[in-house]
A and B are shown apart, each in its own frame.
Chain A
Amino acid sequence: MNEHASITIRGKDRYKSGVMEYKKMGYWEPDYEPKDTDVIALFRVTPQDGVDPIEASAAVAGESSTATWTVVWTDRLTAAEKYRAKCFRVDPVPNGPGQYFAYIAYDIDLFENGSIANLSASIIGNVFGFKPLKALRLEDMRLPVAYVKTFQGPATGIVVERERMDKFGRPLLGATVKPKLGLSGRNYGRVVYEALKGGLDFTKDDENINSQPFMHWRERFLYCMEAVNRAQAASGEIKGTYLNVTAGTMEDMYERAEFAKELGSVIIMIDLVIGYTAIQSMAKWARRNDMILHLHRAGHSTYTRQRNHGVSFRVIAKWMRLAGVDHIHAGTVVGKLEGDPATTRGYYDICREDHNPMRLEHGVLFEQNWASLNKMMPVASGGIHAGQMHQLLDHLGEDVVLQFGGGTIGHPMGIQAGATANRVALEAMILARNEGRDYVHEGPEILAKAAATCTPLKAALEVWKDVTFNYESTDMPDYAPTATASM
């Protein structure tokens, strides 16, 4: 599809009044060599029947940058060629009939420094409702170092979070307090205390715990911090609970964050639904106040899950690393929520690496240099339990928060026992891995041995032994890895 030469109309004919195809207006430039400073976006374009894929892709470039539906003479008052986004490559999607990957380059001057709101208003602003397209998905973005450097990045980052928490060499352990709605502050704090004392590092408010009739936020904060301090004294370890400061206005969120700080919390939490600008504001607040900032990706599946339309979560992960959160939910692979293993690994790489090579088999479609921006801690939460520890460590690695909500609170011997089971399983698995054992295959055996001296783990393995969530993923990489002989 890329053999086409440029068909851009140049000179005064370009600005004749009337309607002109986007591909002739300068939005299709197959010879264009993207600059190091360009933002590059990769869209999955599904044109309406009969619409030329090149024209559809050029239209995406046009509608996400300078174009409108007709020629306007006022273009001539600007350096229009610089500001036009340029689609420079269109490929059919492998095994995706009727779908095309369109590569579009945007000049860096199109974007405001350090503003996800501005970046996203361009790239996903109007164009997703464009009629000639059946569907459109933003698959990935290459963000130039020059633009990355205009963002704060994670307020704390993985390394400093570990130093502050004094926890090294293993995944952190957490649990979301359940039931997520209805507990009074006092009962809620009980769950926090039991889970932390039992061996977890963190507990967590759920996304929709804010300030409701059954528990207003100050009640929650006060009881939770009593629980955190009691658990610290009982274990000698630093503990934390993500106090969700999500609220209706920035003023309310700042008030709640300040109170969390006053009470000595090491971490606060926000939901993705508060919006990009609010997230960036809270990230700045967190950096100023030595606070770890946890982000719950509430709402993302409305636009990330379907493969043909929306925004891939890998793009959201990139935006959130720029925006400056420290934790982000990024999938569990083995748990109850959507997540193909290879795609999830791609998300984790985006969170944690300083440099992402292009890895088509993980759905990472561009090389990305993070220019020493802090690393973001991925969080695995939803339907995981101690019996999966070897798989979790294998899929997700060491720099991750493993959150066992039901897997802690639902333990037959109680919450403390549930927490202890998870901690013992984790430490046993790390010990075995470091000793060089084939922990992925010997996992069940390693757990069984650890359970011999730990009754809570034994009970956990027994009660959840048959729980798996094997459903087909709705989103997976388009490129299969080519098998190579292992040496």
Chain B
Amino acid sequence: MRVTQGCFSFLPDLTDEQISRQVQYCLEKGWAVSIEFTDDPHPRNSFWEMWGLPIFDLPDAAGVLMELNECRKVYGDCYVRLSAFDNSHGWESVRLSFIVNRPKDEPGYRLERHEGAGRNIRYTTKSYAVDRAEGKRYGGT
């Protein structure tokens, strides 16, 4: 399966050139771009690991792409996303977020059901990958 979190997951994977154009859009809006990675793609995993600090005050997308490629070298078998943060009053949150790297094989999620009274079922979503220890998922050793 394909994890479809982020803004562009229904399109074919973006090329580096396409990623650059999106980053440039964010920089021109004055947003800080950050690189984050994880091997725990649960839909409610908010806090992916940060690849350094968000990149503030950058004029050109090339710097972000350089960092992204460094990150890919180390975490190429993880999910990596770019997020753009807008600190203007009334927003102060993420404005754009999209996946720029994903594991070769995405095993997906298992849905666990805990039957309760009155046909009320508690559902738990579990990524098959997290059955292995952090850092050893998705083909990591």
Contacts and interface: CB of A to CB of B under 8 A. Distances in A.
Interface residues of B, number: 44
B123 A264 contact: yes
B108 interface: yes
B109 A230 contact: no
A169 B3 contact: no
Contact of B7 (A262, A263, A430): A430
A215 interface: no
B10 A423 contact: yes
Contact of A372 (B90, B97, B123): B90
Interface stretch (B17-25, B51-59, B63-71): B17-25
Interface string B1-14: 10111011111101
Given A159-B91, A166-B5, A431 B43 contact: no
Contact of B43 (A236, A354, A434, A453): A236
Contacts of A263: 120
B94 interface: yes
Contacts of A466: none
Contact of A236 (B5, B8, B90, B119): B5
Contacts of B92: 159
Contact of B22 (A420, A428, A431): A431
Contacts of A235: 1, 3-4, 43
A170 B44 CA distance: 19
B125 to A, nearest CB: 5
A237 B5 contact: yes
A435 B25 contact: yes
A430 B90 CA distance: 22
Give the interface centre of B10, B14, B90 by most chain A CB atoms within 10 Å. B10
Mostly, the A contact residues are: helix
Contacts of A236: 1, 3-5, 41-43, 108-109, 127
Contacts of B108: 233-234, 236
B123 A229 contact: yes
Interface string B101-126: 00000001111000000111111010
A170 B93 CA distance: 14
A232 interface: yes
Interface string A262-273: 111000000000
B130 interface: no
B1 A163 contact: no
Given A168-B97, A233-B111, A420-B10, A435 B125 contact: no
B136 interface: no
Contact of A424 (B5, B10, B18, B119): B10
A229 B111 contact: yes
A230 B43 CA distance: 13
B10 A169 contact: no
A392 interface: no
B83 interface: yes
Contacts of B127: 236
27 contacts: A159-B93, A162-B93, A163-B93, A166-B97, A168-B7, A169-B84, A169-B95, A222-B119, A222-B121, A226-B121, A226-B123, A229-B111, A229-B125, A230-B111, A232-B125, A233-B109, A233-B110, A235-B1, A235-B4, A236-B4, A262-B120, A430-B7, A430-B8, A434-B21, A434-B22, A434-B25, A453-B12
Interface of B: 1, 3-5, 7-12, 14, 18, 21-22, 25, 41-44, 46, 83-84, 89-98, 108-111, 118-123, 125, 127
The 4 lowest CB-CB distance pairs between A and B, nearest first, are: A169-B96, A236-B3, A229-B123, A434-B25
